[in-house]
A and B are shown apart, each in its own frame.
Chain A
């Protein structure tokens, strides 16, 4: 029995499904500022969530970034700048370039991406296939991915303070 089949069986239980989603959402919120779109492409985009981009750009930068900062909020880094940096560090540019990301299915917003993946509700390749590179031994790839996620997270929370920039919209 593959891991997909096992999970699919477990997701039939509402209690498991709910508990799984709570853990998934909290973990991803904390690590990636996850927006719970339910159409997860994190493994293609260097573990930086593209839905954090104000324009929800899933295929590439919009061309509005100034010196790597977002045109909408000049105190923040362009999400695609982060994605590019992270994919280069992870050596996954080929995955980023070759994939056309279709528009998200908004019916899945606020649901578990893992469950959607297992149940076959997503068109993009399964996270299980792209989470770790196949051509590299797992014992090298797993620590590398974990290290990259920690690195991205640390970089984001230690980003520049809001008050130093004039561009922040009055909220």
Chain B
């Protein structure tokens, strides 16, 4: 099922994500995916997250689909040129994958094969453009296809970027290139998010706010220092610091953020980073 159908029905969409393992032992990952069954509308499968070589997104999406779970295929421009990217989009369609999230991807030197050749032949906007062209029955070179695929195309945006204007400019280009929904980088400040949503109202596109579970005060401070576009307010860090039961506090904070931002956007994207077990508890506490 396409995510677009959920937005059109007016339902608040919920997605979460799983990361394929480094290796072929998929038992744990599939167990994590099973925990999300019935709780979320779709599951993102990351594409070599942080440029670390792992099991691929396409294969895992196919496994989810076989088990009756709805995947969102994340595809990045880091490792493939335009020929391979377009081919993988076709592959995704014949495997029954309908939701595709187009990203630029992390840089190669930040991962575990820092000396590999970075590709970046397309960027996220031209990748969306390529996917739209495929849906029209032709490829980037203008050649006709025998049967065209059909996708629900997603993209990402960083509401906390500074300066924000170029981010919104790129978001607008992504919408023009065919993006039908957006998932955001982690947001911890509902006020800032409201300002962002007011600025992008004119694009009239569904936005799913990103929630990363705060595991500890240290993690929050680390993100403030090292993760672009993520800002955890001091009040939340203090709350985590003082909490006796960190897990319960984390669930409470995530649920509260979802409740506060629910009316501002069309969905939520949970990034549990290993805390997949707690997703149902957060959704329950948030009343979803």
- Chain B residues in 8 Å Cβ range of A67: 162
> B120: which of A55, A64, A80, A102 is its contact (CB, 8 Å)?
A55
- Chain B residues in 8 Å Cβ range of A64: 106-107, 228
A84 and B166 form a contact (CB under 8 A)? yes
Distance between A105 CB and nearest chain B CB, rounded to angstroms: 11
Shortest Cβ distance from A83 into B: residue: B166
CA distance A59 to B171 in the complex (A): 10
- Chain B residues in 8 Å Cβ range of A60: 125, 166-167, 169-170, 173
Residue of B121, B140, B167, B172 with most partner-chain A CB within 10 A? B167
A55 and B169 form a contact (CB under 8 A)? no
Interface residues of A (CB under 8 A from B): 54-68, 71-72, 80-81, 83-84, 93, 96-97, 100-103, 106, 169
A63 and B122 form a contact (CB under 8 A)? no
CA distance A67 to B158 in the complex (A): 14
B126 and A59 form a contact (CB under 8 A)? yes
B106 and A59 form a contact (CB under 8 A)? no
- Chain B residues in 8 Å Cβ range of A62: 104, 123-124
- Chain B residues in 8 Å Cβ range of A72: 107, 109-110
Distance between B277 CB and nearest chain A CB, rounded to angstroms: 29
A80 and B104 form a contact (CB under 8 A)? no
B177 and A61 form a contact (CB under 8 A)? no
CA distance A63 to B123 in the complex (A): 12
A63 and B162 form a contact (CB under 8 A)? no
CA distance A54 to B123 in the complex (A): 12
Shortest Cβ distance from B225 into A: residue: A66
A63 and B120 form a contact (CB under 8 A)? no
Contact digits for B153-167, partner A, Cβ 8 Å, 1 yes 0 no: 000111001110111
CA distance A83 to B163 in the complex (A): 12
Q: What are some 6 contacts across the A-B interface (CB < 8 A)? A: A55-B118, A58-B123, A58-B126, A59-B124, A60-B166, A100-B176
- Chain B residues in 8 Å Cβ range of A169: 109, 114
Is the interface on chain B under 10, 10 to 19, 20 to 34, or 35 or more residues? 35 or more
- Chain A residues in 8 Å Cβ range of B82: 103
Shortest Cβ distance from B176 into A: residue: A100
Shortest Cβ distance from A57 into B: residue: B123
Shortest Cβ distance from A64 into B: residue: B228
Interface hits, B157-197 → A, CB 8 Å: 157-158, 161-163, 165-167, 169-170, 172-173, 176-177, 185
Please provide the 7 A-B residue pairs with the shortest distance between their CB atoms, ordered closest to farther.
Answer: A60-B170, A59-B125, A63-B158, A56-B120, A84-B166, A72-B107, A55-B120
> B166: which of A56, A61, A100, A103 is its contact (CB, 8 Å)?
A61
CA distance A103 to B83 in the complex (A): 12
CA distance A54 to B170 in the complex (A): 18
Distance between A156 CB and nearest chain B CB, rounded to angstroms: 18
B109 and A63 form a contact (CB under 8 A)? no
A97 with B172: in contact, given A55-B107, A61-B167, A66-B226 (CB under 8 Å)? yes
A71 and B162 form a contact (CB under 8 A)? no
A59 and B118 form a contact (CB under 8 A)? no
B96 at the interface (CB under 8 A from A): no
B229 at the interface (CB under 8 A from A): yes
- Chain A residues in 8 Å Cβ range of B122: 103
CA distance A96 to B170 in the complex (A): 10
A54 with B163: in contact, given A63-B156, A65-B228 (CB under 8 Å)? no
Residue of B104, B162, B172, B177 with most partner-chain A CB within 10 A? B104
Distance between B163 CB and nearest chain A CB, rounded to angstroms: 6
B129 at the interface (CB under 8 A from A): yes
Distance between B50 CB and nearest chain A CB, rounded to angstroms: 11
Shortest Cβ distance from A56 into B: residue: B120
